[in-house]
Structure 1
Amino acid sequence: MPSDDKDKTMARPRYAVNHYLCPPQVRLDSFAQEVAEAGFDGIGLTEAALAGASVPSLRRVLNGCGLKVSSINTAGFFLSADAGQAQRNDRLLDIASELDAGVLNIIIGAADETVPLDIARRQAQDALAGFAQKAADYGVQLVLEPLWIANAFTKSCVHSISQTERIFSKIPGLKLNLDYYHLWADPDLARTLCGQGCDVGLLQICDVDWRGAPNLAVRAPLGQGRLSVLAQLESLGWQPGKCTLELELFIDQLPGQDYAALIHAAARQLKLK
């Protein structure tokens, strides 16, 4: 629902785990309890976590574990031919407002390869501008997530920090979701992490590994990848607390690994325990 201008200064979580790591057979309350017991203070909620759940029931789970919502994932996809996408976007916006989520994540969407990328970006930007105004009325912070260029015709026609900054120059109030997996090779990564670019509203972390070659990059648990996100953050003097650090791993990409063990191992890497 639209914001009633009440004070929304609740401190955002410092360290969170995204629900994408949750196996489909594990209930949200069990996953959330594991996250809290490991020392994290936030959780990123996905459409799977929200499916069939009421806001009061979600709030009970969060309050019972002492967790805040770091992110709601994911709205946008503004170029989709799916007539239900706009309704899903509005639902996620309403839930983000009701749960006082740190951010609502946006993937801007993509057209097929018959549409030149610069035209697709302009069309998606125009749609995002309208949604951003609605989010401002709701008091919800949007973050825009650029995706690796391989997704240019499937999920996102925006794939770099510089393209994101051009959108930000036209639409005020947006922040960057800096997903290390998608941006580890971006030429503007270092300056952005050093605070010399657009505002980072969420930093999604994982290590990066690859199968065969760097163009086959895959997400890896913290401490298990060839590229260490924590080592890079340390080398750049990143200060915890600038924004939420949210662990983003996908359980279906980690066959044979236990989600709870991964959560606790990440907590140790982050020195939460």
Structure 2
Amino acid sequence: MQRLSLNHYITPDGYPLARFLDEAAEAGAEGVGLTERALSETALPELKRALRDRSLAVTSVNSAGFFLWSDADRAAQQSETNSRLIASAAELGADTLVLIGGGLHDLGGEYPGHLAAARARLDDAIPAILEEATRAGVRLGIEPMHPLRIFTKACLNTLAQTEALLQRHPGLGVVLDLFHSWWDPDLHDAIGRIAERITLVQVCGVTQPRTELALPRRCLLGEGVVDLPAILSTLSRAGYRGRFEFELFAPDLDGRAPADVMRAAIRDFERLSREEAEEQPAS
């Protein structure tokens, strides 16, 4: 049975990386998703040793991209960050480097046609970073995000958009984060068409937002509205054999200890995976 990976975003600022790695390993995780904060805390040789000592793979490095900066200095800074993350992902043998397209606020100002211009700029930016990553042996996975993220993080929002982007850029993969895509009416059909391009599936539950205008909230597996067993079944039938990573952010802990939530995620994913496997017809 496939084991779950755990993303470092679950820990609050100041939470020692070594403690996170210890707790992930003790919970039974297969690997970890690493953030820029994690990479800045520990030198890569030391981090590689820490991962090896705990038998943890790196399922993702988060996150490169953000291609829409209209400010030249900010765009240059982002380009340097992207190159550094590519080098880190290569050194760590990460399964995927997550790409985030960028939101409308990065362009500055507002005008009719802004969204179309942003999506065109994203499309134009992909070949250069894809070439750089390919030279380094790094797999890129772009992440479509919920439409409420259009202004803040991502102008790539639906799986139909994503599939069209993949067709234009054959070397590009996709990170399927169910927090952002569970609602997409094309979810199950799209999985069947792009399963071989999925580099990582990020899982969590999704529950109601705290306020009317806020985003939905991440929660534990098996809670909220996501029909994870049905999605796991679709992924299995489509031939997806890649990694699964639990992604929940520190503000979603609601006072619970990260270690407790990590153990619960591992336990719940094992149960859901076992139930999904039992429902599959014998070959």
Shift in alpha-carbon separation, 1:90–1:224, aligned structure 2, 3 A: same
Question: Over the residues paired in the alignment, what is the CA RMSD in angstroms?
Answer: 2.2
Distance 1:215 1:232 in 2: 27
Does residue 174 (structure 1) correspond to residue 210 (structure 2)? The answer is no
Letter in 1 for 2:63: T
- Unaligned runs of 5+ residues in structure 1 are 1-12
Paired residues for 1:1-273 under 5 Å: 14-80=3-69, 81=71, 82=74, 83-112=76-105, 113-114=110-111, 115-193=113-191, 195-197=192-194, 199-211=197-209, 216-229=215-228, 231-236=229-234, 238=236, 242-271=241-270
Shift of 1:14: 4.9
Deviations 1:49-83 (A, max 9, x none): 11142110110110111101000000000112313
What letter is aligned with 2:30?
Answer: D
Distance 1:135 1:216, change over 3 A: closer
Distance (Å, rounded) in 1 between the aligned partners of 2:127 and 2:87: 17
CA distance in 2, matches of 1:44, 1:197: 22
Question: 8 Å contact 2:119–2:155 — kept in the other structure?
Answer: yes
Residues 154-196 of structure 1 deviation map (CA, whole Å, 9 limit, x = unaligned): 2111101111111112112111100000001112211233x32
Letter in 1 for 2:169: I
Contact 2:66–2:101 (Cα < 8 Å) also in 1: yes
Q: % of aligned pairs identical?
A: 37
| Larger helix percent | 2
Tell me the matched-pair count: 259
The amino acid across from 1:90 in the alignment is S
Structure-1-length-normalised TM-score: 0.88
